[in-house]
């Protein structure tokens, strides 16, 4: 996500960091490129102009231009203003002291409301709450069946709103039934349209009036850019919207909707969809997202994702083997499977400081799912003894493994060499000194060497 914007901003930042001293004219040249980068990312024209004006006002001050690292200080200003542009503070569901907390999902057809309803229910369940879904999209063919199918896969319960006495009353009855069954969060999936129309708005107004809705969330497709902002503005005015869920953000290389929503219409993004899996919905953290946009990585989100996907006991066991120099190909496979569960490799690397630089060095040629599958097939074609002791793999054994895995002896040899290099690297990073070297390597990814701390803190050099 945000790949295009990140690359463009990286070019602009080099205007600041390539010089030991900066003049107001130097800052102006760099900010012109920042503004162009925002416009090319489909950011609202007025929002881009006001953003650059705020950065300019702070960046040409004496504290910045006369500092020892003026370029880094300008980037720090851009980072802080970007956090503000994205909403500043985190926003998410606030659970009511007297359950249930009712969440109404709205949006046009094709925005991803039904899948988002299930994803949001899973996120709520991870926070130790008991969600229940209400199917209120009775317009689209098979919409109820789709929600029931997706919910059943995740062991979630669905109640269907009755239309016997009107949809609004049916939703109210379903919410009351969910409470009776012990749910403390009710998520209502409503109908959409192919375009904005009066019947849609009147239907949503009736549902909100009949049911005590605590949070009205609008689901929009991030890839539609400024159109998503216009749709959000229309829903806010006609029905009332508390927050936005941006779907397909992982496929949005520009980011115009995410960057414009708060400044253009006063709506903050609460959650974002980052993949097709049921668990691929994340809380939208402005500070973390700003770091991603500036190419600084998002280690906190990566750690949170890993804690959900990876076994702590298994990670500790592998760490002990690394320290002792006993890492095996079985461990390698376990780690690779866990890595694949975190999402596409380019997405994982994009959240690591220096990950984007590593991808550029590789020319964008990262292993895809098919290649990772071939690697796994090679290892699984080895005997348990060969996995523990790869040095036993002579030419004959490698031919046998290649035949069993549907690969070639060259691919088998390449994998063994890569594994041996990884063992050496892991041993080099073990112990206190190794961890310091690893930390130094990770910090190399921050543009201009700036590592932003809390808002208002001074920037630091790597």
Interval 41-83: pLDDT, tens: 888 889 999 999 999 988 887 767 677 677 788 888 889 999 9
Confidence category of residue 315, pLDDT binned at 50, 70, 90: low
- Mean pLDDT over 86-91 rounds to 88
Answer with the residue of higher pLDDT: 294 or 335.
294
Q: Which residue, 97, 104, 157, is CA-closest to 131?
A: 157
Of the listed ranges 97-111, 253-267, 304-318, 404-418, the least confidently predicted one is: 304-318
Q: What is the mean pLDDT of residues 307-322?
A: 63
**Quick count: other Cβ atoms within 10 Å of Cβ 294?**
23
- 206/240 Cα distance (integer angstroms): 12
Alpha-carbon 443 to chain mean position: 21
CA distance 421 to 186: 51
Q: Which of 100, 105, 57, 55 is nearest to 79 (CA)?
A: 55
The pLDDT tens digits of the residues spanning 247-275 come to 988 877 677 888 889 888 999 999 999 88
- pLDDT value at position 448? 39
Q: Is the CB of residue 162 less than 8 Å from the CB of residue 171?
A: no
Question: Number of C-alpha atoms within 13 angstroms, CB side, residue 230?
Answer: 8
Q: b vs e for 405-436, b when ≥16 Cβ sit within 10 Å of the residue's Cβ?
A: bebebebbeebbeebeeebeebeebeeeebee
Residues in contact with 95: Cβ distance below 8 Å, sequence separation at least 6, in sequence order: 101, 129, 184, 185
Domain boundaries, the chain: 3-85, 101-284, 301-445
By the 8 A CB rule, do 306 and 280 touch? no
For residues 132, 138, 142, 145, the Cα torsion angle rounded to the nearest 10 degrees is 20
Q: What is the CA 135 to chain-centroid distance, rounded?
A: 27
Question: Does the CA dihedral 383-385-390-391 come out positive or negative?
Answer: negative
The structure's pTM equals: 0.70
What is the structure's pLDDT at 441?
Answer: 45
The pLDDT of residue 184: 93
Q: Which CATH superfamily includes the segment(s) 3-85?
A: SRP54, nucleotide-binding domain (1.20.120.140)
- Of the two residues 344 and 138, the one the predictor is more confident about is 138
CATH of 101-284, one of 3.30.1280.10, 3.10.129.10, 3.40.50.2300, 3.40.50.300: 3.40.50.300
Q: What's the distance, CA 50 to chain centroid?
A: 26
Q: What is the pLDDT of residue 250?
A: 81
Q: How far apart are CA 156 and CA 307, in angstroms?
A: 22
Question: Whole-number mean pLDDT of the chain?
Answer: 81
- pLDDT at position 162 is 87
Extract the tokens encoding 45: 């024209």
Can you tell me the mean pLDDT for 171-177? 92
User: What pLDDT was estimated at residue 427?
Assistant: 59
Q: Minimal CA–CA distance to 139: which of 98, 90, 189, 182?
A: 189
Lowest mean pLDDT among 8-22, 152-166, 311-325, 412-426: 311-325
CA distance linking residue 80 with residue 64, whole number of Å: 14
- pLDDT of 417: 85
Does position 309 have pLDDT exceeding 60, yes or no? yes
* pLDDT grade for 324, boundaries at 50, 70 and 90: low
pLDDT at residue 365 greater than cutoff 60:
no
Any idea which of 113-127, 174-188, 355-369, 404-418 has the lowest mean pLDDT?
Answer: 355-369
Distance CA 19, CA 426 (A): 37
CATH superfamily of 301-445: Signal recognition particle, SRP54 subunit, M-domain (1.10.260.30)
């Amino acid at each position: 996500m945000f790949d295009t914007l990140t690359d463009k901003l990286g070019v602009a930042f080099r205007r600041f960091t390539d010089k030991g001293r900066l003049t107001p004219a130097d800052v102006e040249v760099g900010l012109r490129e920042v503004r162009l980068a925002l416009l090319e990312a489909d950011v609202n024209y007025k929002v881009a102009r006001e953003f650059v004006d705020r950065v300019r006002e702070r960046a040409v001050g004496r504290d910045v231009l006369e500092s020892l690292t003026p370029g880094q200080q300008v980037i720090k200003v851009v980072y802080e203003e970007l956090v503000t542009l994205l909403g500043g503070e985190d926003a998410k569901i606030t659970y009511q002291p007297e359950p249930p907390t009712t969440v109404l999902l709205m949006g046009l057809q094709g925005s991803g409301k039904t899948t988002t309803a299930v994803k949001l229910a899973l996120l709520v369940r991870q926070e130790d709450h008991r969600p229940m879904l209400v199917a209120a999209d009775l317009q689209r063919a098979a919409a109820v069946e789709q929600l029931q199918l997706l919910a059943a896969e995740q062991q979630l319960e669905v109640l269907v709103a009755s239309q016997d006495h009107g949809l609004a009353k049916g939703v109210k009855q379903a919410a009351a039934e969910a409470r009776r069954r012990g749910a403390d969060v009710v998520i209502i999936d409503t109908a959409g349209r192919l375009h904005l129309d009066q019947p849609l708005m009147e239907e949503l107004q009736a549902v909100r009036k009949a049911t005590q809705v605590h949070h009205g969330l609008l689901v929009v497709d991030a890839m539609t850019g400024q159109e998503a902002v216009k749709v959000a503005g229309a829903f806010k005015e006609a029905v009332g919207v508390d927050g936005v869920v941006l779907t397909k953000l992982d496929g949005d290389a520009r980011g115009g909707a995410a960057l414009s929503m708060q400044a253009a219409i006063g709506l903050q993004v609460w959650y974002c969809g980052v993949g097709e899996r049921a668990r691929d919905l994340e809380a939208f953290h402005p500070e973390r997202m700003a770091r991603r946009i500036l190419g600084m990585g998002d280690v906190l989100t990566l750690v949170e994702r890993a804690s959900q996907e990876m076994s702590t006991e298994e990670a500790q066991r592998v760490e002990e083997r690394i320290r002792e120099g006993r890492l095996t190909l079985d461990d390698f496979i376990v780690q690779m499977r866990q890595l694949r569960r975190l999402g596409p490799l380019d997405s994982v690397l994009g959240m690591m400081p220096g990950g984007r630089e590593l991808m550029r060095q590789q020319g964008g040629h990262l292993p895809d799912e098919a290649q990772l599958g071939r690697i796994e097939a090679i290892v699984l074609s080895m005997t348990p003894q060969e996995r523990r002791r790869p040095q036993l793999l002579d030419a004959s054994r490698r031919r046998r493994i290649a035949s069993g895995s549907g690969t070639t002896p060259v691919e088998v040899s390449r994998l063994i060499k890569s594994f041996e290099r990884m063992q050496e690297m892991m041993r080099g990073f073990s112990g206190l000194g190794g961890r310091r070297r690893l930390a130094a390597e990770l910090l190399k990814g921050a543009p201009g060497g700036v590592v932003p701390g809390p808002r208002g803190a001074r920037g630091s050099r790597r």
